[in-house]
Structure 1
């Protein structure tokens, strides 16, 4: 484990979301260097939104290690996207990065079309892209912020899934990124928490909707994970204390979350749909 095991993180802040991994101190563990693969995704093609950094990057690299070709969507962090491409290709897999905004329904259609034209198929969809904005009072959340958070986190998830589902078949999988805040709430992330609750409800409902097609739909609800979204959302002082309130007393790493996405993408989870996994450092949910 890296320096995030220390009592605190160095204070830091980034002014632009979703944030740059290369600017973080310490950089997250997102390269899956200690992960041992077993060919569980050989011949599969995955599409991951928000795949340029953080959890998305670890998922992309993990999928490549397991034998999948990978396409990922990113907003505008070109340097992070290029590094992720290099790490996927270093596993001997094909990879493409698709730049754009999933809040745009037409972009989602074009992104899926690009994946099909490039790889000829799609087997795994990971809806991971998100944004969050700290606000102390509900009165201070602007209409623009509210709509933007919902556009990215839940409406974008809906658009991308609509575009992808016609290309999925029996045995394929959809995996959504929820959050511990969908269950526990977060007073300063009202709109973000609401979108994550919506993702849980969508996951359960879509799982039932797609059962007859034998397409599994599940979610992962991480706790406090050290990703670029953290310094891009919180003040430098808040970053210093990030994750210390978890039962393990530290933030998690993307590498500690990505195996949940690998499990839900492969046949090991063939009897699971409509479920949520909770890599959150020990917080008990619904117990």
Structure 2
């Protein structure tokens, strides 16, 4: 007898070839075909974060969008950061947050600026009335198959966006984080199984993994937990802006054991768990959401 309540993970979400497509970096969620599922209709909250105040970087699209929507539906007020060119996507997220009755704060700006990172935290604290959760999701990824062609500018921008900004944001936020607060970084399957065309990106994700472990030890005595989420191939605007070789796009994610790319909403519950009191004894850990790719 079959159980009609079960969902086959191989078929639960889009599992066909993606149309060939490209966008100019950083890309827009609204222009992606098919549009990812970031939980706009599917994520149901249960008050796990009632009264919390969260800052989500990269909150306009992809994983960050899914996290911001989930946090709001779990009862948190949410500030999101994004690049100014992503304003239209950010406005959509703002509406989803406000539709839950929670406060939404939009903070456009470039994480490559240390000064902006500091101002971003200050604005989030001022507008939200405090800060309890840092979900650091934003990242830069550009494919380059030949290390001799990897430009120093790309190398610098990838490390500054993905790694330096975490240092800057955490340094600015620590004075506001009370015992019980949570910091959640975003690593990647690339930290464990690097693609040959993503050397710089994979190296930053390895750095984030190590940074998360060390920071968790430093902040444990303050009652602040620090964990990281390691996504596998997730269907987001990032992928069609040069993050993958163009010829990979149609079969993107099909080389995983679950034979498809993940959807942003499939990470939402992990970010919620790590921000909630249910994870009160969890710090310094990596949670893989990889479609079966191993993170050890």
Answer whether TM exceeds 0.5 for this pair: yes
Match of 2:260 in 1: 250
Match of 2:57 in 1: 49
CA distance in structure 2 between the aligned counterparts of 1:214 and 1:54, rounded to whole angstroms: 30
Match of 1:105 in 2: 114
Gaps of 5+ in 2: 1-10
> Residue 32 of structure 1: CA displacement?
4.5
Would you say the 8 A contact 2:142–2:201 is kept in 1? yes
1:271 aligns with 2:281: yes
Would you say the 8 A contact 2:36–2:235 is kept in 1? yes
Match of 2:209 in 1: 200
> Residue 103 of structure 1: CA displacement?
1.6
SS state at 1:48 partner? strand
Residues 165-184 of structure 1: pairs in structure 2 closer than 5 A? 165-184=174-193
1:5 aligned to which of 7, 12, 15 = 15
RMSD between superposed Cα atoms in Å: 1.2
CA distance in structure 1 between the aligned counterparts of 2:121 and 2:133, rounded to whole angstroms: 12
Gaps of 5+ in 1: none
CA distance in structure 1 between the aligned counterparts of 2:275 and 2:92, rounded to whole angstroms: 23
CA deviations on 1:4-50 (whole Å, 9 max, x unpaired) are: 212x1111111222x11011000000134222321110110000011
SS state at 1:46 partner? strand
SS state at 1:67 partner? coil
2:41 aligned to which of 12, 30, 33 = 33
SS state at 1:201 partner? helix
1:114 aligns with 2:102: no
CA deviations on 1:110-167 (whole Å, 9 max, x unpaired) are: 1111111112110000111101111011111111110010010000111111111111
Would you say the 8 A contact 2:189–2:294 is kept in 1? no
Match of 2:227 in 1: 218
Query: TM-score, normalization: structure 1?
Result: 0.96
Matched residue pairs, number? 284
CA distance in structure 2 between the aligned counterparts of 1:205 and 1:235, rounded to whole angstroms: 33
Match of 1:23 in 2: 31
1:92 aligns with 2:101: yes
CA distance in structure 2 between the aligned counterparts of 1:123 and 1:165, rounded to whole angstroms: 10
SS state at 1:184 partner? coil
Moved more, 106-115 or 46-55: 106-115
2:270 aligned to which of 246, 260, 272 = 260
2:167 aligned to which of 158, 163, 182 = 158
Q: 1:35 to 1:60 in 2, by over 3 A?
A: same
CA distance in structure 2 between the aligned counterparts of 1:34 and 1:80, rounded to whole angstroms: 18
> Residue 242 of structure 1: CA displacement?
0.5
Query: TM-score, normalization: structure 2?
Result: 0.93
SS state at 2:183 partner? strand
